Amino acid sequence: NAGVTQTPKFRVLKTGQSMTLLCAQDMNHEYMYWYRQDPGMGLRLIHYSVGEGTTAKGEVPDGYNVSRLKKQNFLLGLESAAPSQTSVYFCASSYTFHSPGDYEQYFGPGTRLTVT
Amino acid sequence: GDSVTQMEGPVTLSEEAFLTINCTYTATGYPSLFWYVQYPGEGLQLLLKATKADDKGSNKGFEATYRKETTSFHLEKGSVQVSDSAVYFCALGHMLGGGNKLTFGTGTQLKVEL
C-alpha cells in the first residue's frame, strides 16, 4: 500500500515550457486535490476533483489545468510555465465524508518545481 | 472568508521543554480543526484533529483543544524531543462538495536541540 505517490520529485523548466505532474493513490479515495506550497504562505488549493471525470477550481487555479480520467490518478498540467510557478506541489486525497468534518486528507511527498 | 493565523517561527527549544504553538482562526459556521506536521523532505501528515467545540485532539503526546469562544486551537506538548523538529501547520476544514476543503496557516518551524 503506497498511499499517495507523485512523479517527478524534482523538475527544472525554462519559461514557456510545459509539463505534467502525476499523482496516484491506491486507497480508492473519491476526492483528490492539488496544492502549492510557498514560503510564508502555507498551502494553497489549486484544483480539486470529487470523482472520476470531474474537476473544479480552487483558490489559485490560473496557469494550471487538471484531469481525472481514472479514479486513482490526478494530473496537474502547466501549459506555459512562468517563474511565478516555482513552488513545491503537493497532491492529496480523501474519502467521501461520513460525518461533517470527520475526515483527513492524505498527502504525497511533493514535487519541487523550479522555473527559470 | 476562512483564514488561519499561526505564530511565526522558527521556534527553538531544548529537549524536554514545554511547547506551545498558537493558532487562531476566522470562519463561518462550524469548521473542523487540524494540526498537520511536515518532516524535512516529506509531505504533510495529520497529527491531530477536533471536529466540534471543546473537543480535545491528541496524538504522540501533542494536544490541542477546540476553543470556539476564543477561536483558537493551540498546539501543546509537555516535553519535546529532537525527533519533533518539523514544520507544524494549523488548518481548518469545511465541506467542499462532500469533501473537505482545508485552509492552512503559514506553518511554524520547530527546532529542538539537545
Nearest CA to CA, how far is B114 from chain A (Å)? 27
B11 contacts: CB under 8 Å, gap ≥ 6? B19, B21, B108, B109, B110, B111
Asked whether residue A54 carries a pLDDT value surpassing 60, the answer given is: yes
Q: Give residue A100's pLDDT.
A: 55
Please give the pLDDT value at position B34. 94
d(C-alpha B45, C-alpha A79), whole Å: 30
Residue of A nearest to B37 (CA): A107
Do B102 and A30 make contact, defined as CB atoms within 8 angstroms? Answer: no
A-B contacts at Cβ under 8 angstroms: 75
Q: What is the mean pLDDT of residues A14-22?
A: 97
Judged by CB atoms within 8 Å, which residues 68-97 of A form the interface with B?
90, 92, 94, 96-97
Where chain B has pLDDT below 50, the residues are none
Average pLDDT over residues A7-19: 96
The pLDDT assigned to A101 comes to 56
Digit-coded pLDDT (tens) for A79-96: 999 999 999 999 999 887
All three cell numbers of B88: 507544524
Buried-exposed string A57-75: b where 16+ CB fall within 10 A, e elsewhere: ebebbeebebebeebebbb
Specify whether the CB–CB gap between A68 and A55 falls below 8 A. Answer: yes
Nine-digit cell string for A108: 504525497
Q: Is the pLDDT of residue A103 over 80?
A: no
pLDDT at B2: 86
